[in-house]
Structure 1
């Protein structure tokens, strides 16, 4: 009897094992990644296609790979071969360049979507760490004065240390977040705040503040904003403008989304008659502040992930956005890289002979990201006096630009 029971139990176990379907460790078509040609490998053989595919030249790709390769490399195991560092970087750059879904990238690179969801955050974090020297806030008076000199030489605006702006980056609604990330434009977002120099490079970036925050909260939330308001940025001490007597602080240029303070200057909103001193001052402020608008414009037109609604975990969104900013500065590091990343016609330009501003090509997509608007500010008397001093300076012989009047006739105020 016992033997019969044993035989029945053994037969039951064998039958159960036969019925149990084995789970694949990896899908066969994905497992043939290294042996079969795929589109990404074909493209790597054509320099022009490679640049469009990854948004950088093959030389820049190899340079970046050497920078971050050790940080993203994974070891082979007895079970399977690790995904190569080249494929990991290519997947991430393609994701940033297009905003394609993980499923779409899976078919393109023969890497599972589960692996891609891990690879992209890891590579973005490695890009930020490996390229951290490309976004560096000036640390002392000498470096800040070099930034101010560039603004004076290139944009005829003295005592300017940078241009401030913010952009809403669309995201899917985070779980259990309520309306924290729901902005005034009626979509969920985080805010990308940035400071740029006179050459379209980022001096400082911060991403992650909830889209619903307003009334100066975004600016005050950042380490940069806190340091500026507490006067711990080590910026130069006030000096007189050429030909003037009043000690005038060094400033950052902003729009009406930011508070008017001793170190933040923004346009006037009243008494803007054509040819008036305030209108002239607004033009000069807006002309120099366009740098940050153009920087955001080229960033978003190249890295199209910023044109989409980013559908990843919230904890990874910040690294994705900041990694794009680091790549922006990296791709503008020399003349050759700049010519590929931002060719002539990319940024706004000026036709002095006819008095016209020629829009850059990035503006074709400018509606895809929304300006940060935090309207209504109480300005101190001191801050207003400083802005008035710049206004008076721009009307003097030393501060006047000979062709500025051409831009004031028939143009709208800002």
Structure 2
């Protein structure tokens, strides 16, 4: 730079100093208090909770041995390497943050305080950990593939709930969400809030054997199930379902069926209750017997929602990540059913009362009603065969008292 005089040089220098003085200071890459994670985060609280098993379960939503079993399974999938810039967030911190997110329903902005992990980083960690959980626990939720597997499910339904040849209880759950911008009423359901639909099927052990999620809340359960891979395989006869056969004491063969509520369509392989305007004593008994098998799935939804309180909030994530979170809770439910004894408290489930030869529901029994509609004659014949069975050789001593 050439200057014509000494004054021009000094004026230029002064101008440069003024510009430099007005420059904003560099922004820190991380807040100071977030850098104190090893000292201030909830990881230290978790260490103290090992002395209080009840408080540990309340905080982590599972007992200590189950948590560390899960941590061992997911660690190879979420372990990160340290760099010259910073120390990696450990698998223990990642899993505990994810479980607290599912258990509490806190937003990322709220969760940063107990975890001392920035909301931006949590937005990466939690979806990644959910994917790892789904992969590590994939064997805990499987659709039966063989006829013998289906018959084992049916055997337990008959043994525990006196409903023969039942392959599973099916229902849908509306998961409350914050809708995406510009979606209008696309996710707005008949209950008065925005949601996506979780469709699921349960076996007699209160475990999911199939879950699919993602249909918008405007669609009814009956419409949502038609968009699932499960239903497509069902109508195309690709589920390898056993052929109809006689059960114990039956005089005629009964079809193997799934059971659901009034929202679903009646099919030869899918039974629902009779509508109120067509009820007789025999059909009331059928509705009651069907409800004993069907309400298992409602029990599961209730148990899972109370364990993972995120279902009590409006989930504020991208739709694909909401699907991921919901499915993670479903597979964790199955994992806890097999691994965590406090999760299996008897008061959370329908239980047999041998004094009255009946079952006491975990939730009050509500008589099922169905809307009439167009159904095939084959479907009606299958349901009528169950009506005859429940009012004949398959009757139980206490069923009449339950419908009066």
TM-score normalised by structure 1 residue count: 0.89
- Name whichever of 180-189 and 23-32 sits farther off: 180-189
2:302 aligns with 297
- Asked if residue 278 in structure 1 is aligned to residue 273 in structure 2, the reply is no
Correspondence 1:246-395 to 2 at 5 A: 246-269=252-275, 270-273=277-280, 276-334=281-339, 337=340, 339-351=341-353, 353=355, 358-360=360-362, 377-395=373-391
Q: What's the CA shift string for 1:246-273, capped at 9, x where partnerless?
A: 4432000100111100000111114435
Q: How many residues align?
A: 393
- Contact kept, 8 Å, 1:352 with 1:403, in 2: the verdict is no
Tell me the CA shift for residue 71 of structure 1.
1.5
Unaligned runs of 5+ in 2: none
- Contact kept, 8 Å, 2:172 with 2:221, in 1: the verdict is no
1:403 aligns with 398
In structure 2, C-alpha distance between the alignment counterparts of 1:76 and 1:342, rounded to whole Å: 39
Tell me the CA shift for residue 148 of structure 1.
0.6
- Asked if residue 101 in structure 1 is aligned to residue 96 in structure 2, the reply is no
Quick one: structure 1 residues 206 and 376, their matched pair in 2 at CA, closer, same or farther if it must change by over 3 Å?
farther
1:33 aligns with 37
Quick one: structure 1 residues 12 and 124, their matched pair in 2 at CA, closer, same or farther if it must change by over 3 Å?
farther
- Name whichever of 73-82 and 203-212 sits farther off: 73-82
2:28 aligns with 24
- Asked if residue 197 in structure 1 is aligned to residue 200 in structure 2, the reply is no
Tell me the CA shift for residue 213 of structure 1.
1.6
- Contact kept, 8 Å, 2:172 with 2:200, in 1: the verdict is yes
- Contact kept, 8 Å, 1:215 with 1:375, in 2: the verdict is no
- Name whichever of 69-78 and 103-112 sits farther off: 69-78
Residue 206 of structure 1 is aligned with which of 181, 204, 212? 212
Unaligned runs of 5+ in 1: 365-372, 410-414
Quick one: structure 1 residues 13 and 194, their matched pair in 2 at CA, closer, same or farther if it must change by over 3 Å?
farther
TM-score normalised by structure 2 residue count: 0.91
In structure 1, C-alpha distance between the alignment counterparts of 2:349 and 2:242, rounded to whole Å: 30
- Contact kept, 8 Å, 2:273 with 2:370, in 1: the verdict is no
In structure 2, C-alpha distance between the alignment counterparts of 1:390 and 1:61, rounded to whole Å: 44
1:115 aligns with 121
Quick one: structure 1 residues 9 and 25, their matched pair in 2 at CA, closer, same or farther if it must change by over 3 Å?
farther
Q: Secondary structure at the residue paired with 1:207?
A: strand
Quick one: structure 1 residues 6 and 53, their matched pair in 2 at CA, closer, same or farther if it must change by over 3 Å?
farther
In structure 2, C-alpha distance between the alignment counterparts of 1:306 and 1:374, rounded to whole Å: 27
- Asked if residue 226 in structure 1 is aligned to residue 242 in structure 2, the reply is no
Residue 130 of structure 2 is aligned with which of 118, 124, 127? 124
Correspondence 1:23-102 to 2 at 5 A: 23-34=27-38, 36-46=39-49, 47-102=53-108
Quick one: structure 1 residues 255 and 78, their matched pair in 2 at CA, closer, same or farther if it must change by over 3 Å?
same
Q: What's the CA shift string for 1:344-373, capped at 9, x where partnerless?
A: 21123354545776442xx59xxxxxxxx9
- Contact kept, 8 Å, 1:171 with 1:190, in 2: the verdict is yes
- Contact kept, 8 Å, 1:162 with 1:252, in 2: the verdict is yes
In structure 2, C-alpha distance between the alignment counterparts of 1:17 and 1:77, rounded to whole Å: 33
Q: Secondary structure at the residue paired with 1:44?
A: helix
Tell me the CA shift for residue 396 of structure 1.
1.9
Q: What's the CA shift string for 1:152-188, capped at 9, x where partnerless?
A: 1111111100000001001111122232211112211
In structure 1, C-alpha distance between the alignment counterparts of 2:345 and 2:95, rounded to whole Å: 24
